[in-house]
């Protein structure tokens, strides 16, 4: 549910409201720090939110942390409430879940999702908040942005009932795509990754796990393939998994990295297609009818299943998170989704 903020009465929770915020900044290659900053005055149509949890996007935020956002993409890759400029210093992030402390009366006390960087208190326009169902835990709700990306990717793919669908890469987006595709009637979903410990999660999501290091003949002649591993090896596996005239949906973003694409072999004879999917634009199949707000609201709705809790594999207190944050974005970081937890005001 979206709140416009216009012509809505203002109120606030009981007690004194915070005047300062702790804000996470990317300051240099491989370095982050928390900065104490004064909060601006709350204006009509705005809401003050106390963060409960924020999720780390291991793909995009890793590229930001390593200064690998191409200069040509500085404008297009800005997060909605980003401050600073690429490469550094910059405040970045877009998986924020919190509780409204002050603002429009219809919002105060509500749990909300926002595309906001990591920060314990923040002020945004009321229309930038999506109200969350009371039954949705904050730790699971941080997946909303990832689910929105997955949903848009499925739309771009034109996945059909009965398809055999391969997903290469069992990270956050890959797992969510697999879960969505597994709900298609008669579909067979193969979730491939180099980490066999992700097999039980794949099964819980309705997919068959495939060890990407030795896929054998399991990944052959697929009707549709998603690539989410952000690696040349994963992309090569995706192309080799596709059947005649099949689509390969490239969900990964490589930043400044140059990636070899295996366009030899059977690529031409199989008449394969590679299609980029990116959440910044609504898929053409839905663009005429769907707004960004409607798409995000649907992503939140799709998180109702508690099976997605299994994707949260690492949690830590935000006050201890400068080092933990960097570790969570390392290339060999264990687990799937890392969440920063914030203490709540009583």
| Res. 29 pLDDT band, cuts 50 70 90 | very high
Span 249-275, mean pLDDT?
Answer: 95
Span 121-132, mean pLDDT?
Answer: 98
Statement: 10-143+303-341 belongs to CATH 3.90.180.10: yes
**Domains 10-143+303-341 and 146-276 are alike in CATH topology:** no
Span 267-273, mean pLDDT?
Answer: 97
| Res. 46 pLDDT band, cuts 50 70 90 | very high
Question: For the chain, which residues make up each domain, given as ranges?
Answer: 10-143+303-341, 146-276
Where do we find the tokens 């140059």? 258
Q: What is the pLDDT of residues 229-260, one digit of tens each?
A: 999 999 999 999 999 999 999 999 999 999 99
What predicted TM-score, i.e. pTM, was given to this entire model? 0.95
Report residue 163 as tokens: 């398809």
Max Cα distance, the chain (Å): 69
Q: What is the pLDDT of residues 194-217, one digit of tens each?
A: 999 999 999 999 999 999 999 999
Query: Quick one: pLDDT at residue 345?
Result: 55
In three-state form (DSSP H/G/I as H, E/B as E, the rest C), the secondary structure along 239-279 is HHHEEEEEEEEECCCCCCCCCCCCCCCCCCCCCCEEEECCC
Span 300-317, mean pLDDT?
Answer: 97
Q: What is the pLDDT of residues 312-345, one digit of tens each?
A: 999 999 987 788 999 999 988 999 999 999 987 5
**Cis? peptide before 87, omega within 30° of 0:** yes
Span 89-115, mean pLDDT?
Answer: 98
Average pLDDT, the chain: 94
Query: Quick one: pLDDT at residue 287?
Result: 98
| Res. 16 pLDDT band, cuts 50 70 90 | confident
Where on the phi/psi map is residue 84: left (φ > 0), alpha (ψ -120 to 50), or beta? left
Q: Residue 117 above 60 pLDDT?
A: yes
Which CATH architecture is the domain 146-276 placed in? 3-Layer(aba) Sandwich (3.40)
Residue 339: partners with Cβ closer than 8 Å, 6 or more residues away: 53, 54, 55, 56, 139, 142, 312, 314, 315, 316
């Amino acid at each position: 549910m979206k709140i416009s903020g216009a012509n809505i009465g203002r109120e606030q929770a009981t007690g004194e409201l915070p005047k300062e915020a702790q804000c996470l900044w990317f300051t240099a290659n491989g370095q982050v720090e928390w900065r104490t900053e004064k909060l601006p005055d709350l204006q009509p149509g705005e809401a003050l939110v106390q963060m409960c949890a924020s999720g780390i996007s291991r793909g995009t935020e890793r590229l930001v942390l390593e200064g690998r956002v191409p200069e040509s993409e500085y404008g297009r890759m800005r997060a909605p409430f980003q401050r600073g400029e690429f490469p550094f210093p910059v405040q970045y992030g877009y998986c924020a879940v919190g509780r409204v402390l002050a603002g429009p009366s219809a919002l105060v006390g509500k749990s909300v999702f926002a595309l906001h960087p990591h920060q314990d208190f923040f002020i945004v326009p009321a229309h930038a908040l999506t109200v969350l169902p009371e039954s949705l835990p904050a730790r699971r709700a941080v997946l909303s942005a990832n689910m929105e990306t997955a949903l848009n990717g499925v739309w771009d793919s034109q996945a059909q009932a009965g398809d055999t669908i391969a997903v290469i890469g069992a990270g956050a987006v890959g797992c969510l795509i697999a879960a969505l595709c597994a709900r298609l009637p008669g579909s067979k979903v193969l979730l491939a990754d180099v980490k066999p410990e992700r097999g039980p999660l794949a099964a819980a999501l309705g997919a068959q796990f495939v060890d990407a290091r030795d896929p054998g003949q399991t990944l052959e002649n697929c009707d549709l393939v998603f690539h989410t591993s952000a690696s040349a090896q994963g992309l090569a596996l995706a192309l080799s998994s596709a059947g005649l005239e099949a689509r390969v949906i490239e969900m990964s973003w490589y930043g400044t990295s140059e990636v070899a694409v295996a366009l030899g072999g059977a690529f031409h004879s199989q008449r394969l297609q590679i299609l980029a999917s990116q959440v910044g634009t609504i898929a053409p199949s839905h663009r005429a009818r769907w707004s960004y707000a409607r798409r995000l609201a649907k992503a939140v709705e799709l998180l109702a299943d508690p099976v997605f809790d299994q994707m949260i594999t690492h949690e830590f207190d935000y006050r201890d998170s400068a080092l933990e944050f960097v570790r969570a974005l390392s290339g060999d970081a264990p687990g799937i989704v890392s969440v920063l937890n914030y203490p709540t005001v009583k």
